A and B are shown apart, each in its own frame.
Chain A
Amino acid sequence: MMSTFLYRLWTVLFVAALMLSCTQTLPNDYAELNEEVTISPDYRNLIIPCNIAPLNFKVEVSAEKILVGIQGDQGGSFVLKGPKVLIPEKKWRSLLEANKSGKYSVEVYARQNGEWNRYQPFTNSIAADSIDEYLSYRLIEPSYVLYENLCIRQRHLGSFWEKDIYNNNLVSEKEDFQCINCHSYQNYQTDNMQFHARAHHAGTLIVCDGVPRKVNLKTEQLISGGVYPAWHPFEKLIAYSVNNTNQLFHSKDIQKVEVLDRNSDLILYDIERNQVSIIQNDSIALETFPAWSPDGKTLYYSSARFESRTGDRESDLATYYQEIKYNIFSVPFDIEQRTFGEPRLLIDAESIGMSALLPRISPDGRYLLFSMAEYGTFHIWHKNSDLYLLDFQNNTIRSLEEVNSKDTESYHSWSSNGRWMVFSTRRDDGSYTRPYIAYFDEQGRAGKPFILPQKDPDFHLGFLKSYNIPEFMKEPVRVSPRKFARTLKGDAIQAVMR
């Protein structure tokens, strides 16, 4: 009896001591510093979704001890130890719930030379607009030619849950490796999605109504199989560019790589009929990066004209690569007849000496977001690439200064409610692409962008892969990686030309 009592007493005391040791209180006696604290990632003065994962951060000041107080305007507060501030998910969710449409403030206290100092607090706003629950991306080294361990992953944005959609290890063999790329979804749903596999067990993997199939889109008439995809918002149609791509290397330029299309055209693939038809195949024009309007009646794309001067197109491309400037076009689409009208020049970037790529229309159809740099077709390698916004309502184009940095901004996607955007940027180190998320308000202004949160605030600093093609999804991909692998190991259905 006595021993049981002592054991219980000891347990109670131990738990109490543990709880006490975990409960931090902010110091009452401190000096106020007139400076902002540096934290990494920079999660200061943001507008964040009401359903985002904890924005864990690291306080970048040297101190004997760091305490951080997080307090919501409309309730909820807790104190955490630094320098790595790891916010418990449950507390974080309560904070966001209690302060939806409100704010929370962060106070950082640092004990330096035995004295407590408080840095200027910062606040983040919590938008009532939620963000799509999932984000998918390919993880790949910022590589040049070779590839090996590749995966397309999906991440739950409300937590740190992350899982493979597909991993090429499932089919890799001794000397046969597989490249995977260009995942895309129909209208943020994953029952209709696609990605490509190259080299080993090559083919385009298309999931239609939840059933995966492998298709070979390359026909005799086309220069390649499908490359950059765009799902029609509601029909079983995918517009693709077909590209004959080449990669060249700068011997000195800090941008290091130039990806060039020798040729490129646009095609439409009718999934149900397994038919491919040509959208654009001008031999001089380089058409690429198709994107549908939300009503499915217009297809947008980028196109540049490049004529060989010497007859050696390959050599000319390497010599005159800086003269390749893409404009953005739109072409009407008759959904019933499945025919396209006459293309219309929408953004004449060439006239201002620029190259505009990756048109993406906001879900309400009002804005067109695109990336623009001085030349070329692959802006992820162009440091001066920025995001630009065309407002169809007043037909104005502006640089999205709120989100741009001195380094690359490239691939971008809208959330399904149009209130958030995710884009690829190399602003952190100039090499490894990271997904940044920014709020987009009803007036067409973007908030300060923030990096995809991770459990460990140092994660992005140590991670040696790039996040490629960040795409929002409303739901997770349900087809298992193994099912994808089995499908890829099977024979491809040969698409036919219409």
Chain B
Amino acid sequence: MRNKSSKSGKKQATRPELPAGTFTWINISGSLLFTLYSFWFLGIHKADLMFRLQELTLFLFDKTFFYEHLQSPGGLLEYAGKFLTQFFYYPWLGAVILTALLLLWQWMLIRAFDLPKHLRLLSLLPLSMALLYIGMQEYSIFVAKYSVLSQLAGMILAVLPLFVARFLPGTRARILILLTLVLLGYPFLGFYALLGALLLWVGLFATGRTETEHQTKLLLRQLLLLLFLLAVPPLFFLLSGQNINPKYLFAYGLPVYDYPNTPWMWTALVACPLLLLGLALLSFVKTDSCRSLWWLNPLFFVLGITFVQAGSYKDLNFETQLAMERAISHNDWDKVLELARKPNDNPNRLLVIYRNIALYNKNQLCERMFTFPNTDEPFHTKNALVSNTIVGAPVNCFYYGLLNYSYRWNMENMVLFGPRPENLRFMMMSALLNREMELVGKYIHILEKTLFYKKWASEHRVYLDDPALLLENKQYKTLLALTQYENLLGQDQRVIELAILNHFCNLKSGTDEMLEWSMSSILTTKSVYKFWPMFFVYVNKNLPLPRHVQEAALLLAYFEKRDLGDLINLMDPRVLQRFDEFKRLTESNTHLTEEMLAALVKRSFEKSYWYYFCFVKDLKTN
């Protein structure tokens, strides 16, 4: 067959012929490069995101767990998505598996849609939409009910019937597959079964058109098949007895609950089926290999990667949060501080809390907490469900020793989003420190059915037999020391940071471990009247005065005209000298407006409590 382009134009006629195998070379290179890109994207670039997704997605090797997922259409996809997600416990492993799946899918796409050589890398566009959907994930992951990878499973499985149909001769076999897919596939794959059937339907239409089938007969057949496709979900609703919400009859399997106020999150999910339909429609236009269009394949490759890169969610706070949370999962407090040190003028409160927890664990809380920015940047999402409390309370409360609150918010999360490994882990640890051993046993039993938390859970069985061993675990020992407070009946009003700060501000007594949290809370809330009693606890216990405590004492004594007397000897001379400089600067610039003075002081004293106390105002500690 002659190349169309070779017929037309003088210029083209003079173009040298591409050597044989050029397309193969381009296509293989494109696929390989995309494979490498996919691995980099999932296993390195988005490693923290993928790790967090697996912490928020539970998969159990358990029959009941499987059956639970078959309660509504699309449930099997959710099951498959959760199965895949668990491997991101090791992001590189998850990336290998997912990349292999994507590669397999690309091959299926090429075969299923019979893509000509010069359009083969068109198959990368659906893949890039799958990656884009992952890349677009933002704060909604914390409040999502559906597994992100269930969509990828759906996309792959939607193409599978068409792929299989290519190997079957005759129209009847394909019709049979379509009917079977809709009838048997809908209960398991929901929307994606219908999409798969629609792809087959388009294929049948195209084939019928080119064959010598009678046009009226063809149209009638197609109409009947389409009606059948549309009729199955309502019929399933009427006959199955499953508790299905009729409103979502055609959308089961899609994350219909997950993106309130964030419709753009649907971009990739809408684009991918449209692309697949586009590929199916290609069969209406018989396209032979066209060597002059060799540039199309590289273009598709570039487009695919551009879509993913340009469309992925980029937010410094979000990325830092994911990385910090991953580090916290591994008790790597140095890593948390390393992330906190990265230039970021506007961390959100969650990052501030994580950083403080890390500082506390490194015994540097009141020494360094104001050397970092203390801001209250909101979460950059329109998803109204995302809040500091829903996202952060389950973990934060635990590390503050508020075990009941941690347990509560893990439970509330479980109610809203289903059980997750993270929630089960923290509920287990909270119960363990509360000495609720039967409850611990229950959570261990469940976590032992996971692939990657099994070992961790089993290791905790020793505490069931001998709870005294808890004191030999450094982390648990520290946390137990934070729980030596009187019970209080109250409400956190779903404003968890404020509840934590109030809790520590109001403590009348406690262990040395609790003292630092109390002082840091007093400093954060600027609870002046509570400062001195706590200050004298440090003095009376002969504890070294952390830097910020010294700074606060000097500042408050200055404001209150209090004579510190011999207490001044407890202060670091460098702090005293800096305070003199601070006083001089502020006293000599009283003519400036507050904003101007704040900017001036910030230059030299941004990392002091003085700056925080005087110029950081109206922090929203939610």
Contacts and interface: CB of A to CB of B under 8 A. Distances in A.
Given A164-B243, A173-B247, A429-B441, A462 B446 contact: yes
A24 interface: no
B95 to A, nearest CB: 31
Contacts of B441: 429
Main secondary structure of the interface of A (DSSP, over half): loop
A318 interface: yes
Contact of B438 (A175, A430, A481): A430
Given A174-B256, A251-B402, A431-B436, A146 B416 contact: yes
Contacts of B245: 169-173
A95 B243 CA distance: 36
A248 B541 CA distance: 36
Contacts of B405: 249, 251
A321 B260 CA distance: 39
B488 A143 contact: no
Given A142-B411, A143-B415, A249 B404 contact: yes
Interface string A426-439: 00111110000000
Interface string B379-420: 000001100000000000000001111011001101110010
B559 interface: no
Contacts of B442: 428-429, 431-432, 461-462
Given A141-B411, A147-B415, A175-B260, A430 B439 contact: yes
A169 B434 CA distance: 35
Contacts of B404: 249-253, 256
A284 to B, nearest CB: 22
B445 A148 contact: no
A481 B408 contact: no
A430 B503 contact: no
Interface residues of A, number: 43
A205 to B, nearest CB: 16
Interface string B424-441: 000000010010101101
A89 interface: no
B443 to A, nearest CB: 9
A248 to B, nearest CB: 5
B486 interface: yes
A422 B62 CA distance: 29
Given A169-B243, A249-B492, A431 B439 contact: yes
A318 B490 contact: yes
Contacts of B445: 458, 461-462
B366 to A, nearest CB: 23
A488 to B, nearest CB: 13
A327 to B, nearest CB: 23
Contacts of B212: none
Contacts of B62: 462
Interface in A144-165: 144-148, 151, 164
Given A252-B488, A431-B439, A174 B260 contact: yes
Contacts of B434: 254
Contacts of B414: 141, 464
A170 B434 CA distance: 38
A13 to B, nearest CB: 31
Nearest to B492: A249
Contact of A254 (B436, B486, B489): B436
B438 A143 contact: no
A459 interface: yes
Nearest to A318: B489
Given A174-B256, A249-B408, A429 B490 contact: no
Contact of A148 (B247, B415, B487, B488): B415
A244 to B, nearest CB: 16
B8 interface: no
A144 B407 CA distance: 10
A232 B8 CA distance: 92
Nearest to A459: B64
Contact residues on B (Cβ < 8 Å of other chain), bracket: 35 or more
Contacts of B419: 464
B412 A252 contact: no
A133 interface: no
Contacts of A471: none
Contacts of A170: 243-245
A262 B414 CA distance: 28
A248 B411 contact: no
B257 interface: yes
A107 interface: no
Interface in A398-431: 428-431
Contacts of A456: 63-64
A143 B411 contact: yes
Contact of A174 (B257, B438, B449): B257
Nearest to A321: B489
B542 interface: no
Contact of B486 (A252, A256, A430): A252
B489 A250 contact: yes
Nearest to B258: A174
Contact of B243 (A167, A251, A430): A167
Contacts of B309: none
A456 B488 CA distance: 40
Nearest to A177: B416
Contacts of B72: 169
A353 to B, nearest CB: 19
B452 interface: no
Contacts of B485: 251-252
Interface in B242-288: 243-245, 247, 256-257, 260
Contacts of B439: 429-431
Interface string B483-501: 1011111111000000000
Nearest to B427: A431
Nearest to B419: A464
Interface string A111-149: 000000000000000000000000000000111111110
Contact of B64 (A250, A252, A462): A462
A258 interface: yes
Nearest to B238: A482
B467 to A, nearest CB: 14
Interface in A445-465: 456, 458-459, 461-462, 464
A144 B411 CA distance: 8
Contacts of B487: 250-253
A456 B404 CA distance: 31
B243 A481 contact: yes
B256 A251 contact: no
A80 B568 CA distance: 81
B489 A145 contact: no
A212 B472 CA distance: 60
Given A143-B411, A430-B436, A459-B64, A250 B488 contact: yes
A214 B411 CA distance: 31
Contact of B489 (A172, A248, A430, A464): A248
Contacts of B402: 251
A248 B488 CA distance: 10
Interface string A361-387: 000000000000000000000000000
B454 to A, nearest CB: 14
Interface in B111-137: none
Ranked nearest first, the 5 interchain pairs of A and B with the lowest CB-CB distance are A252-B487, A167-B243, A429-B438, A253-B487, A251-B488
Given A169-B72, A461-B445, 11 more contacts: A141-B415, A143-B415, A248-B490, A251-B405, A253-B487, A428-B438, A428-B442, A429-B438, A431-B439, A458-B445, A464-B419
Interface of A: 141-148, 151, 164, 167, 169-175, 247-254, 256-258, 318, 321, 428-432, 456, 458-459, 461-462, 464, 481
13 contacts: A151-B243, A169-B245, A170-B243, A171-B245, A173-B245, A174-B260, A175-B384, A175-B385, A251-B405, A251-B490, A252-B485, A253-B487, A456-B64
Interface of B: 62-64, 72, 243-245, 247, 256-257, 260, 384-385, 402-405, 407-408, 411-412, 414-416, 419, 431, 434, 436, 438-439, 441-442, 445-446, 449, 483, 485-492, 503
